[in-house]
Amino acid sequence: MLAWMLRRSFQAGLVVLAMTLLVFAGLHVAGNPVDILVPPDADAAERARIAAAFGLDRPLWRQYLLFLERATQGDLGRSFIYNRPALSLVFERLPATLELSVLALLIAAGFGISLGLFAGLRPQALLSRLIMAGSVVGLSLPTFWVGLMLVVGFSVRLGWLPSSGRGDTLALLGVDWSFPTLDGLRHLALPAANLALFKVALILRLTRAGVREVVHLDYVRFARARGLAPSRVVGVHILRAIMIPIVTVIGLEFCSTIAFSMVTESIFAWPGMGRLMIESIQVLDRPVIVAYLVAVVLLFVTVNLLADLLYRLLDPRVGPADAATGAGR
């Protein structure tokens, strides 16, 4: 187990290193931040002064090596726009994105697993056919369009829910959260539902496929022949058998929800990391972009590691190597 953990940590370090190299090269090709930071009427001396102040006058390879040196000390640079440590800016926006993603995933897991179980156990029922048809629609609709329709329907037309902002927050452990307040939950409802729609459809179809695969296996038939209650057969013998791929998908979808929440946060003016990323890309704020991507990659690696460890709790026969293979799939 220790060797496996060390190997995974080494692999994670290589992934982060490759990501930073690609981002540095990509941002260099995208444009020069000095063109945005200086006023249009600035002379060459002013441009040179700004470039020197931010270290942009050095060759790209030297900038990258300096970044790596500082990164080993926990310093990913200072924002060109906010003049603050880039990592602190990202972590400042993290709670807003985190609570939005967690709520969206709870909605997706609750509805997806429940509806998938029903559709898998009763595949010929009319409601099951409607559920599967609805899942196709959920997978097909673009997130930005669904978000706009939610705003028009529930905010503009009906006036039931707010369409932007976090609402009232409550400080817990020194961090402001929206979910402990009623107004905050009302502000969370629409963006969380928008993020959850695709996840519900994905988890639903995965659960349904898993149920259809195991429901006719011998051990399930034997459990029913023993006279076990249907709820115990489903909860212990069927659901537990299909949870490994579901855990994998939920873990990866949680990471992707955080990483790709930019569209939803922009539509609903949600002050999270995704919106910060969009703003930083518009002004080529390289330190913030790199800090955001490093945080996201580390999150992916951590969640994958936790999913691998959870496999062993769900099925003790799964060893570290098997768990890593399952996560890769």
DSSP letter at 78?
B
Q: What is the pLDDT of residue 130?
A: 92
Structural tokens at position 27? 């941002």
Q: What is the pLDDT of residue 325?
A: 45
For the domain spanning 89-325, the CATH number is 1.10.3720.10
Return d(Cα 299, Cα 12) in angstroms, integer: 10
Q: What is the pLDDT of residue 1?
A: 65
Structural tokens at position 160? 């039931």
Residue with token string 């149920």: 211
Nearest to residue 71, comparing CAs of 291, 300, 326? Answer: 291
Return d(Cα 256, Cα 251) in angstroms, integer: 9
The structural domains of the chain, with segments of one domain joined by +, span 2-71, 89-325
Q: What is the pLDDT of residue 271?
A: 87
Note the pTM of the prediction, 2 decimals: 0.77
Return d(Cα 92, Cα 225) in angstroms, integer: 56
- pLDDT means per 10 residues, the chain with 329 residues, are 74 80 76 70 73 75 81 80 85 88 90 88 87 86 87 88 84 83 88 89 88 79 75 75 80 79 86 86 83 82 73 58 46
3-state secondary structure of 229: coil
Residues 215/282, Cβ–Cβ less than 8 Å? no
Q: What is the pLDDT of residue 328?
A: 45
At 29-47, the pLDDT tens digits run 766 777 776 766 667 777 7
